[in-house]
Amino acid sequence: MALRKQIFRVCSLNNTRMLHSIRDLRLQVEHDRPNSCFFISLDVEGKQDNAVLRYRFTGEKEVDLFSTIVPESFRGKGVAALLSKAAMEFLVEENLKAYISCSYIKKYVEENTLLGYDHIIF
């Protein structure tokens, strides 16, 4: 079975705080459905590494967003926010509800109330 990847291109961001920290990076969030994760491939000091947001289905239309991992050299630059935004958009598009076990994703949702994700959070 071929891997289906849903690609979220990061071309225009309205969150200026994120723009200031990642404007020089060309980042693309990819959705690896078979492995239940979103990831961004990064070049870390000449080596390929990934920033990853992991989730798991807890019910037919319910997921738990439980982990974000960003390489240390990319922390604080908006990479986890890009992963979180992609995951939240996936939930909206698929009409899913979420538990959020990851403290970073909780913070992201709380700080971005204007994006209107509160109706999909348990």
The fold of the 5-120 domain, in CATH, is: Aminopeptidase (3.40.630)
Check: pTM over 0.85? Answer yes or no: no
Q: What is the pLDDT of residue 22?
A: 57
68: helix, coil or strand?
Answer: strand
Domain residue ranges in the chain: 5-120
In whole angstroms, what is the distance from residue 122 CA to residue 106 CA?
11
Any bridge partners for residue 39, and if so which? 30, 52
Asked if residue 67 lies in contact with residue 103, where contact means CB atoms within 8 angstroms, the answer is no
Banded model confidence at residue 13, pLDDT cuts 50, 70, 90: very low
DSSP state string for 55-72 = EEEEETTEEEEEEEE--G
pLDDT in tens, 43-96: 878 889 999 999 999 999 999 999 999 999 999 999 999 999 999 999 999 999
Asked if residue 105 lies in contact with residue 54, where contact means CB atoms within 8 angstroms, the answer is no
DSSP state of 76: T
